[in-house]
Amino acid sequence: MSEIKALLFDVDGTLADTERDGHRIAFNRAFAQVGLDWEWTDELYGRLLEISGGKERMTHYLRHYIHPDSEPPQELLALIPDLHAIKNRFYWEMLDKGEIGLRPGVARLLTEAREQGLRLAIATTTTGDNVRSLLRNTLGADAEHWFELIASADEVANKKPSPAVYEYCLMRLGLAPTECIAFEDSENGMAATRGAGIPVIVTVNGYTQDGDYRDAELMLENLGEPEAPARVLGGRAAGRVSSSVCVDVGLLRKLRAG
């Protein structure tokens, strides 16, 4: 087995529970601001998350929920980029107010990985501005510099489940897939890592917990803390670890050693 050299992190749903109480609310506020009567409930948003990317999600909603039997009006399709920009401003306001925090174990693992010399990168379908705002408001003003690379929708057009963003990371980092471990929260994310050949740990959330993650190294409720280990819910290596774990660099090396 190759030595671990880098950890690659998805953002939304993985670093933080941004979807239900962040992006969803921001989308609804944007719709209201421009006078649209659209409202994305918890249940509906869970279905819409099958579509990666905010602009793509709105386009899908418009075509399949608002105008399922006809081509949507061009003025609505043309409004989507502006809607996305408005939504992002609402989202950044929520971050600035401290309304969205990191998931258990994230800050601890990032800090330990840095201390042990592992390289860090972001691989996400959200925008770079969203990533930097989240990092700044949860980890500190210099947190974006913890990451050697932030690969986002600004650099890679093809969204997950395409492996494009992970292939871009590997190319920029100059690493083989087996020298990395990725962290995701969804089936789309796991499919992207599989396409790039990168082992993945999946930390599910309320929207993604019913997915099929048998091909993940581990499926967990979160990354865990020493005083509150995370339940192991499945994955190929589930039989080689305890029923609850605190994911640290030592555990990652154990997984890679087989």
CA pair distance 99, 109, nearest whole angstrom: 22
- Which residue intervals of 74-186 are DSSP H helices? 74-96, 106-115, 128-139, 164-173
Which among 177, 205, 198, 187 is positioned nearest to 15, based on CA atoms?
Answer: 205
The pair of structure tokens assigned to 28 is 């609804």
CA pair distance 52, 164, nearest whole angstrom: 13
Are the C-beta atoms of residues 241 and 232 closer than 8 Å to each other? yes
Helix/strand number for the chain, H first, E second: 10, 8
What is the DSSP code (8-state) at residue 233?
A: E
Which among 98, 155, 95, 102 is positioned nearest to 124, based on CA atoms?
Answer: 155
Catalytic residue at 12?
Answer: yes
| Sheet of strand 6-9, all strands in order from the earlier edge strand to the far edge | 149-151, 119-123, 6-9, 180-184, 200-203, 218-220, 230-234, 244-245
The strand pair at 200-203 and 244-245 is best described as unpaired
> Of 10, 17, 185, 248, which residue is the catalytic one?
10
Q: Cα separations (Å) of 57 from 49, 154, 167, 191? A: 7, 17, 23, 18
Catalytic residue at 10?
Answer: yes
Catalytic positions are 10, 12
